[in-house]
Structure 1
Amino acid sequence: MIPVFANSATVRTRESFVLRGGRRAPVALQVRFGLLEHPTVGPVLIDTGYTHETVAGPRSAALRTYARILRPRLHDAGQPAAVLARRGIGPEDVAAVILTHFHADHVSGLRQFPNARVFACDRTFARIAARGTLGNLRHGIFPELLPDDIATRLTGFSTLPRAQADVPKALTAVADLFGDGHVLTVDLPGHAEGHVGLLFPRLDTPLLYACDTQWMLSALDPGRAPGWPARLIADDPDAGMATTRAVAAFRAAGGQVMLCHDPDPAPYDMEPAP
């Protein structure tokens, strides 16, 4: 079972904002989401990327402001529905969505998949449900993007079997998502509340989808992680630096690492649509 990733949108920013020693020139960051075709569960998405729910239609003033500031450029061929359609999968066929965290560029399209079980950090979801609008905005979370029935569809990571795989000691594997050892959650604190990566330990070379640990793979290199202003938007900057070191150690030991926003093509990226 091999994951593949599509690019839902690009967001342009100055490279020096996301990479220490980077250029002042703009860089187009990708906004990936993943797809697994599990042999018994069915089609499974990893996040949803950016979708029209974030950038168009009825939205709160806060979400409209967010979209105006970041100005994501959606890729029609990279939208989840389009990617699934090319594989003969309809939105109603998606069996599950794994959320690495609750930021808008990861949950934007969640309402498009009404039958999907939602795997996520249940402790984080409980905090989201208990907080008011301003409290969630401080954490970069827009509950309006979440389905109205998410509480009944959510399967919390804490309720799943503990992962038994041999994981490098710098990382903490938490949950075995499907109970077969193929996809494990890995705690990656720092970027956001409940932020996790996904470890695929049974690939020929284990793959860690480290999601938003950094924006660029180059930032895993010593001394390249960004400082200000990137640290201002991290949930816990110091924990984020420890996570960066742990992910870098996994890569140095021979593992593969993918990030959501790295601008360069990655080995598990889908071929662009014709």
Structure 2
Amino acid sequence: MPSSNPTLNIKKILTGSFVVFIACAVVASVAAWQSFTPASLRLDDPDVGVLPPALPPSAMSVTSLPTGSYDSPAALTFRGGSWRETRHMAMTQVLIRHPKGNLLIDAGAGTNVDSHVLTLPAMQRTPYRRGTPAIEQLAALGMKPGDVAGVIPTHAHWDHISGLQDLKDVPVLISDRARMFIASETEDTKLLRSFQNVRFIEYKFDGGSYLGFPRSHDVWGDGSVVIVPAPGHTPDSVVVFVNLPSGKRLAFLGDLTFQMEGIDLPAEKPWMMRRIIGERDNEVRHDIALIRAAREKYPQIIAIAAHDSKAFQAIPVAPSTLR
């Protein structure tokens, strides 16, 4: 029979609640610990096929335009990273000079980056360093916005599109999936939607498979700039392959991984970060496997994670160029 003593009943209830609280705390602590500790990442062994042909013009070149950086503990950038190490996360734009039209990959931090950061939830604001916005670096190279045929965002997160606000009337090249993602009015695309007079030009993945990616879009039709869908990080995420006259091939990964450890070890992002972002783990892992397999089979491929400052050392800073 249940006790008729109210005090005893209350004590039992409180004791039971405390046990449940402790159990939940233990489970949460274990999950958090597992989120950041190293773990073997099991990947597919995909067939990336033959190296796709490319006929880049001899005048083609690439240049990096560093526009700033923000700080993050390495532990938040890849699983197994140290809490004691700070990574300076690159916000770098890439200029592709091509006779058919100059292109930019991502838009980096713009002149109004301070106000753009304030649009983020408070917990996502981290220390950052302002660099020289791309619009000013282009001017130093003797280029006007009208000299740019288009910007290819690897995806629509704020740190990849901040500089679009400066590049008025420059076409922004997006896929049909990106258009739907932007139109969905998700928090991820809030900053981009706030920009006035952004001129989107939609492309289709009208080409066949490319190094294991199922579809592709050849921007200039010569194999020099090829975009493939990689929608694991965000629905609009892409990888951009830039193939140079020298035979070097650059793979701009966007945020498929934050740092190159994501490819080299390999190591996915911590569980907590993946859940905050809303990543689709299986798609991310498959695309990491594709990039690793492509690099192993074709050593001329250089992969560059969008926020890895060291990876960008493979590309000279303006005014120097890589051909």
**Does the 8 Å contact 1:93/1:115 carry over to 2?**
no
Which residue identity does 2:305 align to in structure 1?
L
Alignment of 1:200 onto 2:242? yes
Q: Does 1:11 align with 2:70?
A: yes
Q: What's 2:262 paired with? A: 219
1:7-33 per-residue CA deviation (whole Å, 9 max, x = no partner) reads: 211111111221222222211111111
Q: Match of 1:106, as an amino acid?
A: H
* Distance verdict in 2 for CA 1:86–1:49, change over 3 Å: same
CA distance in 1, matches of 2:82, 2:317: 28
Could you state the TM-score of these two structures normalised by the residue count of structure 2?
0.71
Q: Counterpart in 2 of 1:266? A: 313
User: In the alignment, is the contact (CA less than 8 A) between 2:70 and 2:126 conserved in 1?
Assistant: yes
**Following the alignment from structure 2 to structure 1, what is the Cα–Cα distance between the partners of residues 152 and 288?**
22
Matched, 1:257 2:303: yes
Residue 87, structure 1, aligned to residue 141, structure 2: yes
Which runs of structure 2 are paired with 1:59-208 in the superposition (5 Å)?
Answer: 63=119, 65=121, 69-76=125-132, 79-129=133-183, 131-132=184-185, 136-137=186-187, 140-144=188-192, 147-150=195-198, 153-158=199-204, 162-163=206-207, 167-169=210-212, 171-203=213-245, 204-208=247-251
Inter-CA distance 88–235: structure 2 relative to 1 (3 Å threshold):
same
- The amino acid across from 1:35 in the alignment is L
How far has the Cα of 1:100 moved from its partner? 1.5
Letter in 2 for 1:251: R
Change (3 A) 1:167 1:155: same
Give the superposition deviation at 1:88: 0.5
**Cα distance change of structure 1 residues 219 and 123 upon mapping to structure 2, 3 Å threshold:** closer
Secondary structure class of the residue paired with 1:226: coil
TM-aligned CA deviation for residue 268 of structure 1 = 1.3
Q: CA deviation at 1:111?
A: 2.4
**Which residue, out of 32, 37, 46, partners 2:105?**
46
Q: Is the 8 A contact 2:71 2:88 kept in 1?
A: yes
Letter paired with 2:284: G
Of all paired residues, the percent bearing the same amino acid is 22
Answering whether residue 94 of structure 2 is matched by residue 34 of structure 1, we say yes
**Distance of 1:66 and 1:113 partners within structure 2:** 27
Offset of residue 186 of structure 1: 1.3
**How is 1:218-237 mapped onto 2 (pairs within 5 angstroms)?**
218-232=261-275, 233-237=277-281
In structure 1, what residue type is equivalent to 2:196? D
Does the C-alpha gap of structure 1 residues 223 and 154 become closer, same or farther in structure 2, counting only changes over 3 Å? closer
Higher relative contact order (CA 8 A, sep 6+): 2
Verify the 8 A CA contact 1:111 1:145 in the aligned structure 2: no
Could you tell me whether the CA contact under 8 Å between 2:158 and 2:192 is conserved in 1?
A: no
User: Aligned equivalents of 1:124 and 1:147: distance in 2?
Assistant: 16
Mind listing any 5+ residue stretches in structure 1 that lack a counterpart? none
Instruction: Compute the displacement of 1:167 (Å).
Output: 3.2
The 3 A distance-change label for structure 1 pair 163 and 181 is farther
Alpha-carbon separation, structure 2, partners of 1:272 and 1:219: 30
- Contact in 2 for aligned 1:104/1:145 (Cα 8 Å): no
**TM-score where L is the length of structure 1:** 0.82
Secondary structure at 1:109 match in 2: helix
Q: 2:44 is matched with which residue?
A: none
Q: 1:17 to 1:194 in 2, by over 3 A?
A: same
Q: 1:120 Cα shift?
A: 0.9
The answer to whether the Cα contact below 8 Å between 1:122 and 1:155 also exists between their aligned partners in 2 is no
**Counterpart residue identity of residue 128, structure 2:** P
One-letter amino acid of the counterpart of residue 201, structure 2 = T
Residue 82 of structure 1 aligns to a residue whose secondary structure is helix
Q: Which runs of 5+ in 2 are unaligned?
A: 1-59
Q: Distance in 2 between matches of 1:246 and 1:119?
A: 24
Matched, 1:2 2:61: yes
Aligned residues: 255
Q: Tell me if the contact between 2:90 and 2:307 (Cα under 8 Å) persists in the aligned partners.
A: yes
